[in-house]
Homo-oligomer: A and B are copies of this chain.
Amino acid sequence: MARQPRRPIDLKESCVQAAREVIAEQGVEGLSMRDVARRLGISHQAPYRHFESRDHLLAEIMRRCFADFAGHLDARLPGTDDRTDLAAMGDAYLDYAIAKPLEYRLMFGTPWPEPAQHAGLVSDAVHAFDILRNNLRRRHGKAAGMQARADLDALFIWSALHGMASISQSQAMDSLQLAPGVATAFRGYLMQKVGIALEVPVDPRPADCRPAPGSAGTGISRASARKPLPPRSISGSRAR
């Protein structure tokens, strides 16, 4: 028979809480199992009764971050239509990235532990993405190929937002000697550009010709790789 946990205070839960505190204070790299144990006043091995390894603890925390994040996206001020709603979603995304940089970095800037394992992690992360995708699917309708279009738009939006979020968080911006006002205008400018790009339809086919509709010729197009880089390619993975 499965025995019920009768502990009043849930040590597993406490570990997660303590670990989140550490991460919020010092970032992922600062997280140590022993530190968690120390903060809770328990032996250094106690957390291992609840988490197989540091990676498993980390995965659980990442899962919760994704859940938080998805909740934050869901809690945006509802737009009056799909368009303003999309804008609100973009704002909510960037607000979160700014307000919780270390959590953001944990979700999107840290190599994931075990891909196949930690199924909960994956499904929670996908759920966050689906909030964005669902909006675009409503927008594009169900005609043939429109699922793909919605996915492509979702990936494009995500790229721009994530790119901006992670660039803003790196110290890079400080060193670039940007023209005055650029740093503060960046966010609004990017949102406008993305909005424009979404308005103008685009052929998701191989691309290569297709001038931009209403404009001379897009400028950036030709897809696919050429010139496969000199010799020494890179293999490797995040093993060990």
Interface residues of A (CB under 8 A from B): 24-27, 29-30, 72, 76-77, 83-84, 86-87, 90-92, 94-96, 98-103, 105, 108-109, 111-112, 115, 122, 125-126, 129, 147-148, 150-152, 155-156, 158-164, 166-167, 170-172, 174-182, 185-200, 202-208, 210, 212, 214-229, 232-240
Contact = CB atoms under 8 A, between A and B. Distances in A.
B212 A214 contact: no
B233 A99 contact: yes
Copy total for this chain:
2
B163 A217 contact: no
Given A95-B228, A152-B185, A192-B212, 8 more contacts: A24-B234, A29-B238, A100-B234, A111-B170, A126-B176, A158-B167, A162-B166, A199-B216
A66 B208 CA distance: 29
A232 B68 CA distance: 12
A193 B198 CA distance: 8
Nearest to A83: B219
A112 B170 contact: yes
A135 to B, nearest CB: 11
A167 B162 contact: yes
B176 A199 contact: no
Contacts of A198: 193, 219-220
B220 A195 contact: yes
Given A91-B222, A160-B163, A216-B199, A172 B204 contact: no
A187 B95 contact: no
